[in-house]
């Protein structure tokens, strides 16, 4: 190998080492659960750091369900997903909720007692260059609570949505007490490209 070729290889190796160091530095910069006083704040930081059930950012989600720092107190936020069923034409998703510090039933599974079955309400938004567009109007849809699973399950019929990036928002639960921070604030899924392309024909 020529001297120029060897120098080029050394340069490539040095660049790779630099990239690995940067990646390691960014991962180390993700705060752990001890940096937060509330689970909802930890959940926001976890998602901002790219956390998910398959990526335990900052070691904040040891059980891999997408919910960070479940031992912290209220306010509580969950990890939400969104998908679209092309055949039956509806949006759907699941929100896994934090178990809470005291054990027992997961908090924040239910919403305003004046809504049917006291459900948490959801709306779907399409990402746009200006304000994101709500898809379900003011009445939204209700999420079904599954207390035995600590999950909220929802679906909303919508025919032939424009392909784009969509996310679901769980509305803030109407507080029972007008003072203080709501223990069940709003939270959302990460924007997802939907509807997904149809699979091509097999060859």
Q: What are the structural domains, with CATH classification, of the chain?
A: 73-194 (2.60.40)
pLDDT at position 201, please? 61
Predicted TM-score (pTM) of the model is: 0.80
**What's the pLDDT at 86?**
94
So what's the pLDDT on residue 7? 37
Per-residue pLDDT at 138 = 81
Q: Show pLDDT as tens, one digit a residue, over the chain (203 residues).
A: 454 444 343 343 334 334 333 344 344 477 899 999 999 999 999 999 999 999 999 999 999 999 999 999 999 999 999 999 999 999 999 999 998 766 678 999 998 777 667 899 999 999 999 899 999 988 789 999 999 999 999 999 999 999 999 999 999 987 656 666 789 999 999 999 999 877 666 65
Alpha carbon distances (Å) from 33 to 75, 112, 133? 14, 30, 34
One DSSP character per residue, 119-168 reads: BPEEEEEE--SSSPEESSTTT-EEPEEETTTTEEEEEEE-SSPPSEEEEE
Nearest of 194, 203, 201 to residue 91 by alpha carbon: 194
pLDDT at 15: 41
């Amino acid at each position: 190998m020529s001297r120029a070729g060897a120098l080029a290889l050394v340069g490539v190796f040095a660049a790779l080492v630099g990239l690995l160091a940067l990646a390691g530095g960014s991962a180390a910069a993700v705060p752990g659960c001890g940096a937060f006083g509330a689970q909802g704040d930890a959940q926001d930081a976890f998602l901002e750091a790219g956390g998910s059930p398959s990526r335990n950012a900052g070691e904040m989600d040891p059980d891999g369900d997408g919910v960070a720092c479940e031992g912290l107190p209220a306010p509580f936020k969950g990890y939400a997903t969104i998908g679209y069923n092309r055949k039956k034409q509806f949006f759907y998703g699941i929100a896994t909720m934090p178990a809470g510090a005291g054990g027992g039933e997961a908090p924040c599974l239910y919403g305003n007692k004046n809504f049917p079955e006291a459900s948490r309400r959801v709306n779907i938004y399409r990402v746009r260059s200006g304000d994101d567009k709500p898809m379900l109007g003011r009445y939204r849809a209700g999420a079904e609570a599954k207390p035995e699973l600590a999950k909220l399950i929802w679906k909303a019929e919508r025919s032939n949505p424009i392909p784009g990036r969509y996310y679901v928002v769980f509305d803030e639960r109407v507080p029972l007490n007008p003072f203080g921070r709501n223990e069940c604030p709003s939270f959302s899924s990460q924007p997802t490209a939907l509807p997904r392309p149809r699979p091509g024909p097999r060859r």
